[in-house]
Structure 1
Amino acid sequence: MPIMLKMIDIFGSIRSLFKVQRVSEDTLIFRLHYRATVALLLASCLTLACKSLSGSPIHCEAAGSVDKIVLETFCWLHTTYSMVHAFNMSLGQAVPYPGVFNSKAVVHGHGPQPLVKQHKYYQWVIFALLFQAILFYTPRWLWKGWEGGKIHALMMDLDIGICSEVEKKQKKKLLLDYLWENLKYHNWWAYRYYLCEVLALINVIGQMFLMNRFFDGAFLTFGIDVLRFLESDQEDRVDPMIFVFPRMTKCTFYKYGVGGEVEKHDAVCILPLNVVNEKIYVFLWFWFLLLGALSFMTVVYRIVIIFSPRMRVYLLRLRFRLVRREAVETIVRRSKMGDWFLLYMLGENLDTVIYRDVMHDLANKLASRHHHSVPGIKGELQEA
């Protein structure tokens, strides 16, 4: 009972990943990595842990005088296996289950055999899911340190918009003074966030590759095999998930007999956890595909922003309609890409009317400085 209560507390702590944050320091796609995906991985890890604690993760049966607990412990530690040629035999006639066959040859469940498919992964699934969650949170951890609370500090409660005019005027002046004095000094700050987005993309691709290697290359054609299985007559085809997550496997156990000779016991094992593993990894595989595609488009989007000031103007106009077009063009022309990113993130957090006033005041100051320094010349949009 105390263990179950502890698990419930841990499940409750996962909800904090879904809490609506007052300050938005990143984008929606980035939050899918460190919130949705991390919560999904931790919930899967805890589900498997609860399943293991509430019942035995493996059940084995063998003929002869073999202690059941010893047999199950041995088969769990030294892995189980399936016979490759038995996957295509007729179920219920030639074999009792795909991959389970009465092997007369000497087969060691924990040794390499050309006709044997080893199943070693089930010991490591919980640890693998926990490690995956850590990797998905790493880019967020890096950005949280690099961002340093800059956006929250510059907000100064201006996201509420309900305050006295004197206080509002003072805070807007402080924000405007900071933007004016630190203009063109935010490139490195923005590029570090872009680096975190690239790391998030690399992480998704790398985890899909490792997942495929973890299950002996089965996931490369997994989606196609599943679709073919669903479209065809399911009685004539073997469920492709059985090849990756078999529910019944074999295990060979050796012990000394009463006469001192070595006895071989051919055991059949049921892996109930594979029913849960199957659902978890099928969902994760397609979720990673979607997340990888969205992350790739985000990286392409960032590249376009870096090399296209006109795109920055378009995006600011598209997102913040209250800001005049000439003000946006002036700011983008006189600033750099890092300043654009900071202004965009501030716009996501500040009150819309206050943000409009700050942008207009900043544009007027920039236009006035340029008018006094280079009279009569209209500047072009500056490349960051």
Structure 2
Amino acid sequence: MAAVAGLFGAFSTVTKHFFEINQVSIDDWAFKLFYKWSTTLFIIASIAVTSKQFFGDPIECDPGHAKVDGAALEAYCWMYSTFNVPTHYKGQCSAGDYDYLDDDLLYNSYYQWVPLYLMSMSMLFYLPRVVWLKLEGGLMKFFCKGTRSRVVEEQDEKREKLVNYFQHHVRGRYDVYFFGFIVCELWNMINVLAFFLITDRMLNHRYLDFGIQVVEYYRLPSDERKLPWVKNPMCLTFPRIVSCDYYRYGLGGGQERINAICILTLNVINDKVFYVMWWWFSVLLLLCIFNFINRVCQSLSCGLRLALITLRLGRYLKNSPKREHIETFLRQCRLGDWFVIYQLCKNLRRPFFMECLTSISYMNDDKDVDSDVGENLISMVLRPDYVTQESEMPKD
């Protein structure tokens, strides 16, 4: 029972961390689809394509009547990954089903690189998260420390501290905070485009429309799929059956060639993995385009910025006696100020946040701001995070 309880506790901890339940949010759900869900997808796919216990050896070869060491033959064919398939070969899902410009069909050793490629992509998709963590610097955690519980202790003191810090250290200086996040979002879109282009190059230019072709093929009736001119795109990109020429020295001292038919068992999972990824990243690409348009509209429209915060606050803003003043402030504040406020709106309890927002809106005309704390991209990257700054502040 103790082991089961420990396992359940570990699972709950991992789940809570993965879904960021009751944690401070420094980005949004769309951003999480890239650094969290896409990275996880790459790692799971990398594990799947290296799991022999589920799919067997990656390659198995049949040399026919020739007497040859099977392990050596399979290691040779797998290592060099050059498969010469006769066009008249009629095996199912074989590379010989397709007509090419020459008689030889060359598959480079991308099979060997697939796990490493997937892991590299997982790191590439996590890089924008690392950069944003550095740019954000723990600002939200600094603001939310001790203010996220249902009952905030010493509420007036903490509200005054939050409002004063915003007024003297954030207001008018954090446009780079907003545009830095946009740059990280654009980086996500570049990563998606890089995935499609690099994968297409790795798969011999057969991936850009791979998902569409597979859907069109399987939408055909089963009898039409058997027609000689109808080709399965999965077999084109990931053939199961290929032919390998193995060269060795015979008993007479001369070199002899042994042709073997090889089954690429690994492609049983490779085609599914890359098919799922094609649709996943196609959706993410559309999301990137929509998100970019949304950010442009946010930058240009103060009405949209106000609507987003109003949507989150609901009746708290609607019933506030200071509603008109708050809305005027939100329309007139700089982009960086609005974005910090919007992030705080997602993390703080709404009654406490409304009190803070009301105080901030009435301090908007105060010009008593420190002149030496301006933020730019370089200063945001080089400065220590807010937790470190707070620990280094002198104690009263």
Q: Same fold (TM over 0.5)?
A: yes
**Which moved further from structure 2: 221-230 or 153-162?**
221-230
Match of 1:45 in 2: 46
Is the 8 Å Cα contact of residues 210 and 278 (structure 2) preserved in structure 1? no
**Which moved further from structure 2: 221-230 or 293-302?**
221-230
Residue 215 of structure 1 deviates from its aligned partner by 0.9
Alpha-carbon deviations, 1:294-349, whole Å to 9, x = none? 11111111111122222212222222222254234332344210010000000000
| Letter in structure 2 aligned against 1:129 | L
Over the aligned positions, Cα root-mean-square deviation in angstroms equals 2.5
Among 137, 143, 152, which residue is 2:132 paired with?
A: 143
Is the 8 Å Cα contact of residues 85 and 96 (structure 2) preserved in structure 1? yes
Is the 8 Å Cα contact of residues 326 and 361 (structure 2) preserved in structure 1? yes
Among 159, 165, 168, which residue is 1:178 paired with?
A: 165
Q: Which whole-Å CA distance do the structure 2 matches of 1:124 and 1:268 have between them? A: 22
| Residue 203 (str. 1) matches residue 204 (str. 2) | no
Which ranges in structure 1 are unaligned for 5 or more consecutive residues?
Answer: 1-10, 87-93, 103-111, 371-384
Match of 2:256 in 1: 263
Q: Which whole-Å CA distance do the structure 2 matches of 1:85 and 1:298 have between them? A: 47
Residues 110-129 of structure 1 mapped to structure 2, 5 A cutoff: 114-119=102-107, 120-129=109-118
Alpha-carbon deviations, 1:38-97, whole Å to 9, x = none? 1111011112222279842211111312111110000010004253745xxxxxxx6123
Q: Which whole-Å CA distance do the structure 2 matches of 1:114 and 1:14 have between them? A: 53
3-state secondary structure, aligned to 1:81: coil
Match of 1:282 in 2: 275
Alpha-carbon deviations, 1:241-260, whole Å to 9, x = none? 01111111111011111112
Q: Which whole-Å CA distance do the structure 2 matches of 1:345 and 1:171 have between them? A: 18
Match of 1:194 in 2: 182
Is the 8 Å Cα contact of residues 316 and 328 (structure 1) preserved in structure 2? no
Q: Which whole-Å CA distance do the structure 1 matches of 2:155 and 2:218 have between them? A: 61
**Which moved further from structure 2: 306-315 or 202-211?**
306-315
Residue 114 of structure 1 deviates from its aligned partner by 2.8
Match of 1:168 in 2: 155
Q: Which whole-Å CA distance do the structure 2 matches of 1:85 and 1:144 have between them? A: 54
Distance 1:163 1:17, change over 3 A: closer
Residues 4-43 of structure 1 mapped to structure 2, 5 A cutoff: 16-20=17-21, 22-43=23-44
3-state secondary structure, aligned to 2:117: helix
Residue 180 of structure 1 deviates from its aligned partner by 1.6
Among 235, 239, 245, which residue is 2:226 paired with?
A: 235
Match of 1:253 in 2: 246
Is the 8 Å Cα contact of residues 18 and 35 (structure 1) preserved in structure 2? no
Residue 124 of structure 1 deviates from its aligned partner by 0.6
Distance 1:342 1:202, change over 3 A: same
Residue 150 of structure 1 deviates from its aligned partner by 0.6
Residues 283-362 of structure 1 mapped to structure 2, 5 A cutoff: 283-321=276-314, 322-323=316-317, 324=320, 325-362=323-360
| Letter in structure 1 aligned against 2:307 | Y
Distance 1:212 1:100, change over 3 A: closer
Match of 2:74 in 1: 72
Distance 1:239 1:333, change over 3 A: closer
| Letter in structure 2 aligned against 1:192 | G
Percent identity for Structure 1 against Structure 2: 28
Corresponding residue pairs, total: 341
Q: Which whole-Å CA distance do the structure 1 matches of 2:133 and 2:348 have between them? A: 20
Q: Which whole-Å CA distance do the structure 2 matches of 1:273 and 1:18 have between them? A: 32
Q: Which whole-Å CA distance do the structure 1 matches of 2:13 and 2:31 have between them? A: 21
Is the 8 Å Cα contact of residues 61 and 267 (structure 1) preserved in structure 2? yes
TM-score, scaled to structure 2: 0.80
**Which moved further from structure 2: 151-160 or 276-285?**
151-160
Q: Which whole-Å CA distance do the structure 2 matches of 1:97 and 1:204 have between them? A: 33
Is the 8 Å Cα contact of residues 56 and 265 (structure 2) preserved in structure 1? no
Q: Which whole-Å CA distance do the structure 2 matches of 1:54 and 1:14 have between them? A: 28
Is the 8 Å Cα contact of residues 59 and 72 (structure 1) preserved in structure 2? yes
3-state secondary structure, aligned to 1:265: strand
| Letter in structure 2 aligned against 1:272 | T
Q: Which whole-Å CA distance do the structure 1 matches of 2:42 and 2:13 have between them? A: 14
Higher relative contact order (CA 8 A, sep 6+): 2
Is the 8 Å Cα contact of residues 95 and 235 (structure 2) preserved in structure 1? no
Distance 1:173 1:332, change over 3 A: same
Match of 2:5 in 1: none
Q: Which whole-Å CA distance do the structure 2 matches of 1:23 and 1:13 have between them? A: 16
Q: Which whole-Å CA distance do the structure 2 matches of 1:280 and 1:101 have between them? A: 23
Q: Which whole-Å CA distance do the structure 1 matches of 2:275 and 2:58 have between them? A: 20
Alpha-carbon deviations, 1:126-168, whole Å to 9, x = none? 001000100110000111111110100011221113134xx01
Is the 8 Å Cα contact of residues 59 and 269 (structure 1) preserved in structure 2? yes
